[in-house]
Amino acid sequence: MTVTLSTPELEADRQALIALIKDEAVFHGDFTLSSGKKATYYVDMRKLTLDHRAAPAIGRIVLDLLQGLDGIQAVGGLTLGADPIANAVMHESVRAGAPVDAFVVRKEPKDHGRGRQIEGADVTGKRVVVVEDTSTTGGSPLKAVEVLRKAGAEPVAVISIVDRKTGAQAAIEAEGLQWLAAIDLDDLGLAPQ
């Protein structure tokens, strides 16, 4: 996968993010991923999506990837991985003069208050993009897509910061959604597992 960002400054952001991921977010050992798959390394993007050095660049990079999609009004995804990404995009979109709202999809509907499963922006009738920090099988974003569709939203794409190149793209595209990823394992010098 070759990602082409719209400006040299954004590509510099992407390269800086790749360096941070390599230095601080790739852990080697024996891990079980959220998909249940076993791996000998783990890319802990939460370490960086919640880091002041990386979050603004993540917001700018995802916002740039959104430019090829028409009429996107909100971004978000399954809590917890998507939350800081959606917030970074929201803040950078305001700075860029083209505001995009954020939403959070709970794993289950809340059992009190208004009983909502989607918090934040009202997504009914809106074109939205699901974001996630790392992707393996596509299960997390597809769960968010299912909840969003039930709520009357129109999910059009999934954007992942790091694609582990283990089937997520095919699963997302099989649901009729566009797949975009900012970084993949080749960028990080890692092999798919």
Residue 184 annotated in ligand binding: no
Burial of 148 (0-12, 13-18, 19+ CB in 10 A): buried
Burial of 150 (0-12, 13-18, 19+ CB in 10 A): exposed
Residue 110 annotated in ligand binding: yes
Residue 106 annotated in ligand binding: yes
Residue 138 annotated in ligand binding: yes
How many DSSP H helices and E strands does the chain contain?
A: 7, 8
Residue 132 annotated in ligand binding: yes
Residue 6 annotated in ligand binding: no
Residue 92 annotated in ligand binding: no
Residue 173 annotated in ligand binding: no
Residue 52 annotated in ligand binding: no
Residue 49 annotated in ligand binding: no
d(CA 86, CA 100): 9
Q: Which residues are annotated as a binding site for 5-phospho-alpha-D-ribose 1-diphosphate?
A: 106-107, 110, 112, 132-140
Annotated binding site for orotate: 136, 164
Which residues are annotated as part of the binding site?
106-107, 110, 112, 132-140, 164
